[in-house]
Each structure stands twice: as C-alpha cells, then as structure tokens.
Amino acid sequence: MILGCAWYPEHWDESRWADDIRLMREANISLVRVGEFAWSRLEPQDGQMALDWLERAVTLATAQGMMVVLGTPTAAPPAWLTQAHPEVLAIREDGRPEVHGARGHFNPASATYRTYCARIAGALAERFGKHPQVIGWQIDNEYNHVSYDAETLAQWQAWLMAKYGTLDALNSHWTTSYWSQEYTDWSQLPFPLRAGHNPGLTLDWKRFVTDLLRSYQKTQIDAIRQFAEPRQWITHNFMGWFDLFDHYKLCEDLEIASWDNYVGTGHLNYLSNGAAHDLTRGFKRRNFLVLETQPGSVNWAGVNNALDRGEVRCMAWHAVGHGAEVVSYWQWRSALNGQEQYHGCLVAPDGNPRPLYEEVSKLGKEFTSVAKFLRGTTPASEVAILHSYDDRWAINGQRFHKDFDPVEHLLSFYRPLRAMSFGVDILHPSAPLSAYKLVIAPHLHLVDDEISEHLLKYVEEGGHLMLGPRSGFKNAFDNALLPVRQPGPLAWSLGAHVEEYYALDTPVPVTGAWEDGEATIWAEWLKVDADNVEVKLRYGTGNGWLDEQPAMVTRKVGNGRLTYLAAWLDVPLTRRVVSWMTGASRLAPPFGPVPEGVEVCRRVGGGRELYILINHTDRPLQVELPRALQNALTRTVHPQHIWLPARDVAVMGARVEITTPV
C-alpha cells in the first residue's frame, strides 16, 4: 500500500527540495515519481548528460525513506533535438508538422528519435539501475498519437508486406474489388485518413499502430534492462478506455500495468470508474498501479470543479478496492508557469500545503496502518466481462447506429453487477475462464474458430456464457461478414440464430419473464432452431418485423448454459436480466445487499478475506454485515452492521493486523 506523488525538482531552486520532502513525509507519502519531462535538464546539449542534479534529488528523497519511480523523459524532446532533426517531429493527419513547445509532438516511428530515446533511457538506467530505493521505471507518458509521415508510411507498407506476403493475398483479405480498391504495388497502400475507409485496412492500421508503439516502447525497455536490476519493474501509464492501440499487447512487455485516473468535470461515478480499474487489472490479470490521480481538480476539463471534501480519500480507497497497489497524485506542487499552472496539487505555489493536503495526509496514515492487512490480497471475482480492442475498433468503424458506443454497452452490464456488489474481471476473450461462473460477452463482434472453441469449452465444462447483440457478426480480419447467421460458429450450440438486425430510431417494447421494458438503440430478431431453447424475452408491437419475436434465449449446453440477449435494453430491464443471469449461474453476492451509493470491494489472499466499504454519498448510511467484522481503520468490531458517515470508508475483515495506530 503505497501513496505517492509526481515531483518535479527541476521546477524549483534546490534549496526548496528538503522542505518538499519533509512535507511529503509528514503527509505519509512514501513514493515520488521524477524525471518524466526533464529531458532538456538531463541532456541540455546533444550527448552532454547532466544527471547529477537528479541524483541529488533522488538521494534526498531516499534518505528520508522514500521510494522512487523514474520516468523516461521521451514524451517531451528538447528543442536542440527537434531543431537538429526536424524529422523527429510528428506529422498530423492534415499534413502539418508538429511544432516544439508542447509534449507528445514526436514521431514514434522515427529511427533517429528512437536512437536518442534509447540513449537517454540507457544513461538513466546506468546511473540508477542499481539504486536500492529506485523500485521501477515508467516508459514515456500516456502514449496518445502516431505520425503520418513518409517514414511511418514506409513502415506501414512493410508491415503489410510481412503480414500478407503477396498483394493477391492482401486484396483477397480486404475484398478490395469493392469500389475499385485493388492494389498492384505496395507503395499504393495509403493511411486510412478519411472516415469510411476499407474496414480490413482500418483494422490492420490499428494493429500496425499497436506494433509500432510496442516496438517504440521496447527500444527503451531494452536500453533500461542493460543496466537495471531485475527487481526494478517497468511500466507505462495508460489512460483507461483510450483505444489508439491494443493495451493487452503493449503490456506483454511490461512487468505491471498502470493508468492515470482523472474525473475532470463533475464527481466520481464509482460504478463506471471502477470498470477502468478492472480493465487495467485485466491487462496483466494482476494488481496494478495508479501513477496519476486527481488531487482535487484538474485544469483541462470544461468545468474544473474540485472534488468534494472526503471524495479524494474515497477515490483512493476505491482504487485500492479494485486492485491498485500504488495511488500517486499528479502533482505535488504546481509550476509557476507552463500549460498546467492551474492543475490541482497538494502544495501551493508559496510552498505551503493546500487544504487537500490534510485529507491526503490522513489517507497516507491509513495506508500505512493497514498495509500488512492488505498485503498479498487481490480482488476476487466469479464474473468476467469480455473486452477486445479489435471488437471496439470494428464496431466504431461501422456503428450503424451513432449511439452504439461499445464501451457504454459494456458498462450497461458492468454497472448493475457492481451495484449488486459482485466483483467483475474485465478480460480479453482468449483469457482463461474456468474460474468464472458467469462470463458476459457484450458484443463479441469478430470471431474465429479459436475463440469460439475456447468459449464453447468453457460452457460445456459448466460455465454460463451470455452473448450480447452484434456477436458473431464478422471474421477476425473485419473484412467480411460471416457466411452464416449470427452468432456465427456459436449459433449451432445456441440452438438459435439472428434472422435480422435493426438500428432503432424509436424504442421497441420488450416483455417476458420479468418486468416489461424497452429495447433501445439496437434490436435483433431471433429465430429458434432447437426444441430445448427457452425464450426469456420477446418484443412487443414495434416496427412490424420484430413483433412477438424472441429477444432473449437460453439453452443448456453440456454442463453449462449459453444465453443470447439480442437487444440493448433499458436500464431497469437490463438490471433484471443481470439478476437472472447471476441466479442462473448459481451466484450470490459475497457480502450481501448494501444501500445505493455504497461500494463493496472484496479482496482475498494469504488466508484473508476483506471488504473495503465506501460510502460515496453525502449522507450517513447503515450497512448490514454478513457476519461480525472488525474495521481495521478504527479497530472496532461490528457484530451486525456499521454506520458509514458521508464519504467515509471502512476496511472490514475477520483477522485485522494493524502496524501503527490511525
């Protein structure tokens, strides 16, 4: 349990550093992240390394018991580099070159830029790779762009040549006979710069970008690993649902996944925000780090409101409940100038703590006090939701209904599960599934034999798989509709297929085993093909085509069950469907019912089971307990229930080990 902050000693006179470290320790902050944007100070001229100041900052911090994460500074190249080598600047989609003075303005495909990145990363690792208090490395910062220059285009064309071998194979896979798109030379292959480009080309572009950024990242990993001890982990700070690239693949080269958790305008919606935590945990299927989070407010949102008193603490425990091992604030103290002057921080420009400092200090004390209790535990789930970047890219490329947002569709299942206090893992469809009683595939759009066999094996061995609309629609290349009806290779086992699909301009009534509701955005007409298929929902009178047709079917398959929900349902009916799915899967919430607005996060490990309870509301609430439990934060045993004040937290368990008093 580590509380940290981003510290930029290069912004301040060195005489100030000791006071910063003292205030961090008084706030029970035990980790600093440094160096990530300091390239111009670390290498003020080409080849002239100036690392002594950073070593003095690291030494000062570690002398006070602080741990250090070093960021490679490659998200912000220095002016001498971009001036001497203008080819390292990215070219925007409109053909204009980036200019110096921001960040993320480099070309990740540039061989020249990669050489300089490897040099600075290697120099840092040579100096700090054996430092006992340097625990890890962050590569770059929030990958967020690609360049549309000649060097990137050549690599894109070479990538396609390596993948397909011949233009005949490429033309066949992309069905380029449509609209006279057939290519006769590799140099003709374009960037997908316009909307509505060939779906196969567009999906391959996303996969190329993934490989491009992965190789850019690997250049720095290799440079660091020449000198860094194996105990020092390497990570990158991702951005939640951002989908420029496939995060699962980039994480294959990292020891641990991390992300930056911000709210922006408004307040924490724990039922949605928790999904981004669970997504990040699913990249490596293990606990993760929050390397940046919001210290009250930001400076980039439409309205940069502050989080309410107590909300920052709740947000941190919310992250821990979903598996965060580090919660680190961006940033410690705002610079006196620069684009982020108004961003929230813990210390004001005059060097004195801001009001939020006290709340974070309390949080740090809590983390220290219960660290031993949480050590070795991780979120425990019996429900998984499947998520694939390929599926999202394919659907977003041809939504058919402007509001069919695949992330929002996934969240329509996630939110009711979390409201019922079920833990949820968000996983790639190829991940091991035997540990789960219920697996939900909200829109398994692209399928191949390997994935379908993997999922059917899960069902036949006793699992419950629910497929949502648009499943089994296209092949894995996104270049062709499957020559069978939805859900493609899974239709025979389901005993039903999709006769037709409809984007809805007006809702369609739905009725059946539970309360009536509506289908919105999307609906599919199911046709039953086997006798032992149960119809759970039917459409009412709507567009004439859907009237009285099945909207949801389920069938026992082997030792398990396969269910198909053919519509995007309204919120109340989705909640009822999710409740039925959990019951049919022999699942019960491990904690029990809680008031609306109370989040339950279960972590297990080392023979311990604990529950983090968070009251996200502005009023006190009583929570019934499944048995007598002790609150590690107060050392109080609660036999039957606990009162949680507004925006308060309890860490409950049967065996509480406390290291220091709260």
Measured distance CA(545)–CA(539) in Å, rounded: 10
Task: Annotate 588-615 with three-state secondary structure.
Answer: CCCCCCCCCCEEEEEEEECCEEEEEEEE
- With beta carbons less than 8 A apart as the criterion, state whether 521 and 568 touch: yes
CB 4 within 8 A of CB 326: yes
Residue 3 β-bridge partners: 327
CA 56, 57, 61 angle in degrees (round to 5)?
115
DSSP string covering 195-250, please? TT--HHHHHHHHHHHHHHHHHHHHHHHHHHHTTS-TTSEEE-EE-TT--SS-HHHH
The token duo for 314 is 């709740």
Q: How far is residue 172 from each of residues 166, 188, 199, 479, 596, measured CA to CA in Å?
A: 10, 16, 13, 9, 53
Tell me if 655 sits within 8 A of 366, measured CB to CB: no
**CB < 8 Å & 24+ apart, contacts of 171-179:** 173/200, 173/477, 173/479, 174/198, 174/200, 174/201, 174/477, 174/479, 175/200, 175/479, 175/480
- The reply to whether 182 belongs to the active site is no
DSSP state at residue 533: P
Q: At what angle do helices 150-164 and 167-174 cross, to 10 degrees?
A: 90
Q: Where are the beta strands (DSSP E) in 7-140?
A: 31-34, 67-71, 134-138
Closest to 57 (Cα-Cα) out of 69, 46, 45? 69
Q: Which residues of 224-243 are buried (b: 16+ CB within 10 A; e: fewer)?
A: bbebbeeebbbbbbbbbbee
> What's the token pair of residue 536?
């759970």
Question: What's at 620, amino acid-wise?
Answer: P
For 474, residues 6+ apart whose C-beta sits below 8 A from its C-beta are: 394, 445, 446, 447, 480, 481, 482
Structure-token pair, residue 452: 């379908």
**Which 3 state secondary structure label does DSSP give 35?**
coil
Going by C-alpha positions, the residue among 360, 368, 364 that lies closest to residue 659 is: 368
Q: Which of 36, 292, 518, 524 is catalytic?
A: 292
Contact 244, 144 (CB under 8 A): yes
Q: Are 526 and 496 in contact (CB under 8 A)?
A: yes
Q: Which helix (H) or strand (E) holds 140?
A: none
Q: Give bridge partners of residue 146 from the DSSP assignment.
A: none
First-to-last alpha carbon distance for the chain, in angstroms, is 15
Catalytic residue among 142, 311, 325, 359: 142
Q: Cα separation of 315 and 493, whole Å? A: 43
Is 292 catalytic? The answer is: yes
E-assigned strands of 428-516? 438-441, 464-467, 496-503, 508-512
Asked if 385 and 425 touch (Cβ cutoff 8 Å), the reply is: yes
CA dihedral 519, 524, 525, 526 (to 10 degrees): -110
Q: In 3D, which of 179, 169, 253 has the Cα closest to residue 204? A: 169
Catalytic residue numbers read 142, 292
